[in-house]
Structure 1
């Protein structure tokens, strides 16, 4: 072999993929100045090697402007495993204690701004002598921060406090409260709730001056009086407590005709709530009023119920029940007294 070139050169070897799996019989050698490039066929992949040791933990030191600024730090072996981001190169530099290990393009572009997290805090009293703790649960941006505070030792009994409001008690639920309501116990949730008062309200009354009478009347039905009861903050049913009016039936023979008195709610033909029976004689007689209902009534029935916040009008009506004789009405001592019974279905 003859000498072609006699000088110190740099030899660089690089692998070349074998697309068909045939061995090369000739390896390409190229001389460029003082550098020799040799292309070597790439061999088949080898077997997987043994598991390496764990990587060194990094001590992140943050950003630094340039590599020159890093070199100016004068690091020694005691600074091993410190790492910086060199902003000028967007590279990560790790100091091994003897040299630098550089990772290029180690940082990508900043991601989009995430939604701010809203933390709902809750404090929990832990057992006496326990350790404080904190935990965050949920998925951002809606998360909950729970902090457990150790409960302190029981202190001395304090001075008696001032009387508190019933409405502020833990076993009282005042939702739905209205004027004149009272509290009642509900076993379902073990609390007191406002309910319609069970007592009768009133009374409301009209007397002789509010009644209209007359002599030898033939009209039937005839309105003798009206009574307006103001609105109440709850539903209720009018109850005829007492009352009288004088009626004379002009009959011959006796009991040939009769006019009785009705008390109705809302109109002349509204719900019947009271009644008075006259005597079928030609003499004047006192007709006493008492409660009366045309249909079966029970505590849960809505018959004759006035809705909350509604004014009620009551009508006192003379109505002929049989015969055709005339009648007379004297109002001098007439009276009607009505109470309101709260409706609790």
Structure 2
């Protein structure tokens, strides 16, 4: 039996791992496949082996965790407080620029890890320069630099008043509401008027031209009679509240009075007192028999001119009017008053 080979085949082997899907049973078959070309130009062999995917390995060591800068003495004291949980905590030693890394039990030192600090350069030199307005050097300006060598420095400027330019075009007129001559903020319907105390304009509530109060017939007392010895009988009392303006009274209306021949009953309208107050309205009765209306009107004992304060009710002043029937003539017979169609109209005429 011949033992010498009749032919030699040079084989290139390719080893192929066959992956297994999760949950499948592992492969156990292995094969070797050799292929030879007929022309003998090349040979090729393949070996098939089962391949298995292992589980994940343990976690690696974390990288250095920088925890700040410390001095050498601080790092020595820090060792007693660090443990395994602080693995790879690192610190910069500010004394020599080295890095200290904790390995779980001690520090591993990396010398000059941050590089050496360079030489400190010379302090900057500051000196005053020039000041320009619109590119033109201003010779009257003064600049001063103060501070120790190395700083900090302070720069002081003393600038002259800039030259006055040409007057610009007039701007639009501002609103009167923001004028320096107007005081306060208006509300709906207010107007402005001058106040001499500060020589400014103030907002105020302008009154209507005439305010009117009316006492109707049922505002008068029921019909009554008086004895011959009675000389006065009050008919109406009405209070006018304080106003924000000064005014005088004007009156209209009338009331029925019964008098006998030789008797006269007048109507007085007095201010603030029924018997001694100023007479601001009057109605003069007639001598005659029966019922007669006594008409009412405004009255003044003195002359009144524009600008006069006679008979004026001042601002913020309340006043009460008293209407009284007064027997002026006759003392033998009684007299009476009735409210039929009686009327008292009080008009407040503003005084400026």
Q: TM-score range by the shorter chain?
A: 0.3 to 0.5
When normalised by structure 1's length, the TM-score is 0.46
